């Protein structure tokens, strides 16, 4: 530490000093601070009294442990220009003479450094790019030249994967919200229908022109013959996802898990719509069991009335491929063909002709997940129900 005011140095810092070099000091506060240091360090206190009479460049050096010395020394003057020297009366400071610099030799020495700096200089690179673009614009394009579009990823793979996961989760949330809104609308319609049926007998609802996913495929006449419920029970079941769930359970009397039921009925088992339909079916006594295995009851079969069975296995896969259409169908087709082997996002995108880093791919994948047609994260497989 170098200071002309030793009294301003923090005491905790000053106590760590082992070597003291002190020159001429005249101020009372400065000498008092040095006296305290000397007394604490065990040096001769007469040192402080001699500080005012020291000549220029003369001082004491005291180091008890490191240099093991305590003596009065004369510090050498600077050989070069001493800008800090005390001016003397009647003498002007003599300016230092600077040695000549060989600019040419210095430029030669720095040539490689300058060349490297210019090579990586953004401004120079932009100027060079502009020159090349102007030269290229002057040249006519060959008649047979084929313009090829190349996609360059601006984001890193990890960032793209993170964005894809966010988009996928947003799609799941949107699906759940849409399902809940749809369920509320259907329940409201059913309540209104129930109020009307209390005053007048409700006729059996006509079969809709566009059948739901679980009812669209034609079947043999023997399989299509099912018990027909009353008009009241048919009106209560309606033509919504609840009917598709009961149809799926009726098609498989041995029972379905929540996931399998969602696949066959086209309703995500994680959605609020699915939970609403399941709760209503339980309250009416139309199904029994837990999420591990659900079965339709006799009351459920009676309330359901007639229905068409859904295909199974590979035929079920063909059914959903026909229902989905477009890119989602191509993705499902690729997963079914690869089953039971999994496919990565990139492999699936390549086989389906869709970039795995695009929002379209994420949207289709979210839809397949919501229908329980795809399982896995990172390694994707078709649902075992489609095998």
Q: For the domain that residue 344 is a member of, what is the CATH number?
A: 1.10.10.10
Enumerate residues 6+ apart whose C-beta is below 8 A from 162.
Answer: none
Mean pLDDT, residues 228-235: 53
Q: What pTM did the predictor assign? A: 0.35
pLDDT at 93: 67
* 309 located within any domain: no
Residues 263 and 345 occupy one common structural domain: no
The pLDDT-based confidence of 344 (bands split at 50, 70, 90) is very high
pLDDT at 162: 76
Mean pLDDT, residues 265-286: 86
pLDDT at 334: 92
Residues 294 and 331 occupy one common structural domain: no
Q: 1-15, 116-130, 224-238: which has the minimum mean pLDDT?
A: 224-238
Distance CA(218)–CA(310), nearest Å, equals: 9
Both tokens of residue 76? 């050498």
Where does a domain end: 20, 45, 74?
74
* 166 located within any domain: yes
Bridge partners (DSSP) of residue 59 are: 73
pLDDT at 351: 92
pLDDT at 229: 47
Reduced to 3 states (helix: H, G, I; strand: E, B; else coil), residue 9 is: coil
Mean pLDDT, residues 268-295: 87
Distance CA(387)–CA(384), nearest Å, equals: 5
* 125 located within any domain: no
* Helix boundaries (H) for the chain: 11-14, 28-41, 46-49, 103-109, 111-119, 122-138, 157-199, 221-224, 231-237, 241-251, 258-265, 272-283, 298-304, 314-324, 326-338, 345-352, 359-370
Q: What percent of the chain has pLDDT over 90?
A: 7
Residues 357 and 227 occupy one common structural domain: no
Residues 177 and 278 occupy one common structural domain: yes
* 200 located within any domain: yes
* 156 located within any domain: no
Residues 285 and 332 occupy one common structural domain: no
pLDDT at 297: 92
Total count of domains within the chain: 3
* 233 located within any domain: yes
Range of the domain at 46: 6-74
């Amino acid at each position: 530490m170098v200071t002309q005011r030793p009294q301003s140095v923090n005491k905790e810092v000053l106590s760590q000093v082992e070597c003291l070099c002190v020159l001429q000091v005249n101020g009372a506060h400065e000498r008092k601070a040095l006296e305290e240091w000397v007394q604490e360090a065990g040096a001769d206190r007469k040192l402080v009294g001699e500080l005012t009479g020291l000549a220029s460049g003369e001082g004491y050096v005291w180091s008890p442990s490191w240099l093991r010395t305590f003596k009065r020394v004369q510090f050498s003057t600077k050989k070069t220009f001493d800008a800090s020297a005390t001016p003397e009366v009647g003498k002007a400071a003599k300016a230092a003479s600077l040695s000549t610099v060989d600019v040419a030799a210095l430029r030669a020495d720095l040539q490689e450094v300058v060349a490297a700096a210019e090579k990586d200089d953004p401004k120079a690179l932009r100027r060079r790019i502009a020159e090349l673009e102007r030269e290229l614009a002057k040249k006519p394009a060959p008649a047979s030249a084929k313009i090829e579009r190349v996609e360059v990823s601006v984001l890193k793979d990890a960032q793209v994967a993170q964005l894809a996961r966010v988009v996928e989760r947003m799609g799941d949330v949107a699906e759940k919200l849409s399902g809940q809104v749809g369920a509320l609308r259907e329940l409201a319609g059913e309540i209104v229908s129930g109020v009307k049926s209390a005053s007048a007998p409700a006729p059996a609802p006509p079969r809709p022109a566009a059948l739901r996913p679980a009812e669209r495929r034609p079947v043999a006449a023997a399989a299509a013959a099912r018990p027909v419920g009353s008009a009241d029970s048919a009106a209560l079941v309606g033509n919504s996802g609840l009917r598709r769930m009961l149809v799926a359970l009726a098609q498989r009397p041995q029972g379905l898990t929540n996931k399998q039921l969602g696949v066959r009925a086209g309703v995500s088992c994680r959605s609020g719509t699915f939970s609403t339909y399941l709760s209503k079916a339980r309250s009416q006594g139309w199904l029994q069991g837990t999420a591990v295995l659900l079965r339709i009851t006799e009351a459920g079969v009676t309330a359901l009335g007639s229905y068409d069975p859904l295909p199974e296995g590979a035929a079920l896969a063909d059914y959903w491929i026909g229902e989905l259409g477009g890119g989602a169908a191509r993705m499902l087709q690729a997963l079914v063909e690869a089953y039971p082997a999994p496919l990565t996002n990139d492999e699936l995108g390549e086989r389906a002709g869709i970039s795995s880093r695009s929002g379209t791919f994420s949207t289709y994948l979210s839809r397949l997940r919501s229908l329980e047609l795809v399982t896995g994260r990172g390694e994707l497989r078709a649902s075992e129900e489609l095998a």
